[in-house]
Amino acid sequence: MSAGRYEATERLRGLDPETPPLERGILPHRLDAFEDYVALPERMRGNYPSGFSEEEFRNYMGGMAAIDDATVRAIVTAAEHAHPRPDRLLNVGGGPGAFAAEFDRRGADVTLVDRESVLDFLEDHHREQGLNVVEGDARESLPTGYDVVFGARMTVSLTLDGIREYFGNAYEALDPGGTFVGAEWVRGRSEVAERFGLHMVAISEAGNTYTEAEYRSALADNGFVDIEITDVPDTRFQVVVGHVPDSA
């Protein structure tokens, strides 16, 4: 309140339909999710609506783009500890591209993969950032020939079977000696993982969060070795890391 008048804060600008989706912040997506929480009993009976409405999709894009720079930098640094100075990096489920842009800034040749609907919506944004993008579904196949396959907040929208398919395709996408790095909220390790699992159950038919043991076995069963799960300093994330043997 100023001079006896109420004024909307910057965060409330996200609720103005005139605000461009990528500038809306997380609040509109949170409010959409709240409606999904209210509908949770109905959804637990299997009655999910089919996908997002147009406005919910735009708000979801805004929510994804709202990740803060310090978190992105901390996760990219953790990925570089797992595999220093990658030449070619595939960013799976890259969305608006905050991670892809940071890897690019640090010298990697980055390709971002995402679904067609997301790439169509973000076409101008990706072009402005100079990002190289490819349409694809990580459960079906991924482009090949990379030193690192990186995905952030990717597995939350997949079932455990979907994660296994994704990790199998990540293994095929990597050259010998390559490294998979996933930045996720691991159950039993991240304070937000259980709550986020419930969030995903409310907003989607497939999503959830997963335990260290589930990630380890999905990586090992696909041939990855030297698997490690470590906390990313000053964030609520863990990185889930697996390597392709040098002679694979």
Ligand X SMILES: C[S@@+](CC[C@H](N)C(=O)[O-])C[C@H]1O[C@@H](n2cnc3c(N)ncnc32)[C@H](O)[C@@H]1O
Residues that bind ligand X (CB under 6 A): 64, 67, 93-95, 98-99, 113-115, 118, 137-139, 152-154, 157
Query: Between 140 and 191, whose beta carbon lies closer to ligand X?
Result: 140
Question: What gap in Å lies between CA 118 and CA 93, rounded to an integer?
Answer: 9
Closest by CA to 88, choosing from 136, 38, 145, 131, is: 145
- Residue closer to ligand X by CB (options 106, 248) is 106
Q: How far is the CB of 95 from ligand X (least distance, A)?
A: 3
Nearest to 242 by CA among 164, 129, 132: 164
Q: How many CB atoms lie within 10 A of CB 148?
A: 26
- Min dist CB 4 to ligand X, Å, is 41
Q: Which is nearer to ligand X, 95 or 242 (CB)?
A: 95
Cα-based angle 25, 185, 87 (whole degrees, multiple of 5): 85
For the bound state, the minimum distance from the C-beta of residue 75 to ligand X, rounded and expressed in Å, comes to: 9
- Give the shortest CB-69-to-ligand X separation in angstroms: 12
CB 156 within 8 A of CB 185: yes
Q: How far is the CB of 3 from ligand X (least distance, A)?
A: 39
- Own/partner pairs, 87-91, CB within 8 angstroms, 24+ separation: 87/147, 88/145, 88/146, 88/147, 88/148, 89/146, 89/147, 89/148, 89/149, 89/150, 90/142, 90/143, 90/146, 90/148, 90/149, 90/150, 90/173, 91/150, 91/151
In this complex, which beta carbon is closest to ligand X, that of residue 135 or of residue 246? 135
Sign of CA dihedral 222, 143, 63, 131: positive
Rounded to a whole number of angstroms, the minimum distance from the CB of residue 100 to ligand X is 9
Q: Which residues contact 13 (CB under 8 A, 6 or more apart)?
A: 19, 23, 24
Q: Which is nearer to ligand X, 7 or 124 (CB)?
A: 124
Rank residues 115 and 248 by Cβ distance to ligand X and give the closer one. 115
Give the residue closest to ligand X by C-beta. Answer: 93
Q: Which is nearer to ligand X, 98 or 219 (CB)?
A: 98
Q: Rounded to the nearest whole angstrom, what is the least distance from the CB of residue 117 to ligand X in the complex?
A: 8
